Amino acid sequence: MPSYILDAIWALVYKKCMKNCGKGVYLRPMSSDIKGLWNLTVGDGTSIPKGSTIYCTDAPCTIGKKVIFGPKPTIITGDHRIDVIGKHLIDVTVEEKFIDGVNNFDQPVVIEDGCWIGANVTILKGVTIGRGSIIAAGAVVTKSCEPYSIIGGVPAKLIKMRFSPEQIAEHESLLAQHSRK
C-alpha cells in the first residue's frame, strides 16, 4: 500500500489522540516520529511534513494556526537531568526530574500563529516562537523570540524584524479583517 494512503489513515488516529487538533491539519505520521500526542496541540491549517520529530514529554507542545514547516523539523519539550550521582542518564526517572515540586527539565514549547519554520530546525524546551516569525534553515532555537522576528544560527539569534511597528499594526489589522469574513 502506498505510504500516502497509510499516512491518511494513521493521521486520523493521531489527530484523535492529540490534546487538540484543528481543522485542515496536514500530518505525515508514518514517516515522522511523534511522541506524547496527549500533550500536543496543533491549530487550524498547519502543515507538519514527513520526517518531523516531535517529542512532548511532561510539558506540552502547542503549534498555532497556519504554521508551515520545512523538511525535518525537531521539537523537544524535555531534557535529561544530568546531576544525579550514581545513575546513568537513562536510569533517571521522571519523578527525579522534580526538585522542590517543580520540573525544570521539561518545559513547554509554543509556536504561535503564522510562523514559518525552515528545514532542519531544532526547537528546544521552554521556547516560544512569536507569531509570524521565520526561523532560518538549520537553526537551533534555545531562546524565545518576539513576534515577526527572523532568527537563525546555532544557537539562533535575531537576524532582523520582518516589519516595522507600524507595519505590524497594519498587518494584524488586515489579518483580523480577513478572519471576520
Q: How far apart are CA 107 and CA 153, in angstroms?
A: 22
Place of cell 514517516: 31
| Active-site residue set | 80
β-pair partners for 69: 117
Cα–Cα nearest to 15, from 5, 6, 4, 26: 26
Q: How far apart are CA 98 and CA 93, in angstroms?
A: 10
For CA atoms 101, 107, 108, 110, the dihedral sign is positive
